[in-house]
Chains A and B, each alone.
Chain A
């Protein structure tokens, strides 16, 4: 049953991956210019790498320090590291915009970039774990030689791996040093690189415990509780160091009041810290709990969840407040986000079943009883019987069904890059049954614009194009403005800001301050002129350049002469109609009369 679920998840991920490459990041993800890093980068890459640290710690303990008690865990740890880093690199290839250029960091160096260091070290360390995997895979085949060679040089290989790993775990944290004003102050810290490596060391060891427990329960092999308890106790040390460092760091930067201020970031941080630090340390420090199944299950699962949550907080959620936007992963993102770990788990199970990973002969699954239905002559029930009873058959069937179902995860609107959000649209001023031309009173000033509705409809794709303008605006906007598509149009440029004046003069009771004559409707024609109040600002003559007045806001006259007229002239040249505004006499009624004949 486990394998079927994993295969289904992996197939969903595969389809999402194909879609991502065909349609682009916009169609596949909910990322935006405000939240440019999402689930693939943070959960699969940064958290995935963090959960793979057991490889280098076990290599240090077993190969370098020769603590033989941990020797049976070396191979599982290397396998966890290999798959953790493998799925991380894979997720990164999906996430970056131009994955075929993945080797560019090796060519174009930027030693100032922490991402450069991460890219280099992660790739190289993945290669090291792959090399360390070779003896495991080849030892019982006739390709034994390279494995033997690696066995001889295991110490230098382990040392290189340890160095690369500790370098890039600090760099993964240091990635966020560049965002001092954007990342939430609870998580931003000048020492974030040390916090990252410490929490990753504890989390990685706990991941090893969790994986061993899961494999043990899947294949009915009882794990050695004393050994796992020792690993858990070992993991508690970096976790405690991380907790202490984080507490001191928050105190030094005066952020503890923020944590308890009731901000949801503070609550999230407390949850994360409880899962990552408090719970596992409490369990690991009590021998009675540490040596039991239940205690180890809770401690390891809680640490892994806490570590993942911490990385998501730092990489995504910590940016929400400064960006003013919230990111929720899209369906294809979720499919890949769970499909990649599912595929890694399948590989893990395959390796455990076929090679000597757990210091024991391969965990071959029990022989299934032969299909009875297969012996009948009825082809239909024969096929179904074999599908239901043969694991290979019903796993592949599950995978195929999942792949077909997964095609539905791409919504048609997302493919066009325009996910729809419901939004009230203002009705046009006059209802035209044919909807050929609508009069739109966008800013409610009775100066309607003749909007060629039919023309737009045809241009944008006929009857199905309604959604391109209607009900797509973002929350908070009042209407779908022309400016949404015609970005070169003026948006809310206004010479007189009515709401500002209402607010400054005392709200709804203030109408009479400007609309003094009491006539209805109140309109700009029956309001006091601007210069009644702004006498100083609205100088009628052009001030001498360089004087103090030159730096005042443009007066109405200046604005007209310098801005509006120039633009109207320009537009007149291209349109050949509506020349009225170009003529000075439009305003200066006396001009024609005074002009010397």
Chain B
């Protein structure tokens, strides 16, 4: 399979870690816009603040405030993992979840390298919850609620091309301030949420710069193996059938021979008796 490429329609969010002051207005905006509900302290929640009721959160990495949210990968692990295709990737970039298909296997949670999908643990009818890039707002021509709420422009929205250009511009303007890397540009095949920062962001789940995963898409981990599956099945099926048929046939022939032999012997015996 050819790895998906960002379409010209692709939108992106650029988060500049050096600008974030940690006011959490993005978190409030997200919660208010989608009415995600109250968070109840629970042992089932992770300490990073994301949960079934919080789709974005500010985490602290090396004394910096870093906004954590779904990265809307161009080649998402969740989409590849889900056995029922409950995840869908829109051409604009949002990776959205369809709760009508979900069976609750939580394989997306195992697969996501950024540990983004969260589960509604405390209900008998639970679903997976995560950021949806405000795709309904995008359709209306609005920005995602979090970027609209950011008072200092630490997280901004535009086309992916624009955001990459802006990130490169900032890196070039201030080479000593930033680490010269746009997180999400190529990691795992690229994401729709980009980060620039003055501290390493591996803690978010990004691969280290020298890791093979940095330039590899998710499909590259699984699709080569998956492609072999029909061949494996075919080989086993054909091989077993062939072995079975050959042995079956040989036993039939052996049986025939034995019968012939027996009948020949009995004929001999008969003829001897006649003599």
Contacts and interface: CB of A to CB of B under 8 A. Distances in A.
Interface string A147-183: 0000000010011101100110011001111111110
Interface in A55-77: 60, 63-66
B46 A548 contact: no
Contacts of B259: none
Interface string B35-72: 00011111111110111011000101001010000000
A489 B57 CA distance: 11
- Interface magnitude class on chain B: 35 or more
Interface in A80-137: 95-99, 101-102, 104-105, 107-119
Contacts of B222: 112, 114, 174, 177-178
Contact of A26 (B85, B121, B219, B244): B121
A143 interface: no
Interface stretch (B6-14, B15-23, B138-146, B262-270): B15-23
A284 interface: no
Contacts of B84: 101, 104-105, 107-108, 110, 116
Contacts of B113: 179-182
Interface in A524-575: 548, 551-554, 559, 562-563, 566-567
A167 B152 contact: no
A421 B47 CA distance: 14
A43 to B, nearest CB: 16
Kindly name the residue among B44, B51, B115, B226 whose own CB sees the greatest number of chain A CB atoms within 10 A.
B44
Contacts of A112: 1, 79-80, 219, 222-223, 226
Contacts of B86: 108
Contact of A34 (B46, B49, B83, B207): B46
Interface string B247-269: 11001000000000000000000
B244 A64 contact: yes
Contacts of A474: 43, 47
Contact of B151 (A96, A175, A419, A563): A563
Nearest to B251: A66
A405 to B, nearest CB: 24
B54 to A, nearest CB: 6
Given A472-B41, A485-B39, A554-B21, A36 B103 contact: no
Contacts of A325: 46
A161 to B, nearest CB: 10
Given A117-B229, A167-B236, A155 B248 contact: yes
A167 B235 CA distance: 11
A493 B110 contact: no
A465 interface: no
Contacts of B223: 112
Interface in B78-120: 79-86, 101-107, 109-111, 113, 115, 118-119
A335 B125 CA distance: 22
Contacts of A97: 102-106, 119, 125-127
11 contacts: A101-B102, A112-B223, A163-B240, A167-B236, A175-B110, A178-B80, A181-B213, A421-B43, A487-B31, A562-B152, A563-B21
Interface of A: 21-27, 30-34, 36-37, 60, 63-66, 95-99, 101-102, 104-105, 107-119, 155, 158-160, 162-163, 166-167, 170-171, 174-182, 190, 193, 319, 323, 325, 416-419, 421, 468, 472-474, 476, 480, 484-485, 487-495, 497, 500, 548, 551-554, 559, 562-563, 566-567
Complex A-B, nearest 3 residue pairs according to Cβ-Cβ distance, in ascending order: A97-B104, A26-B121, A417-B122
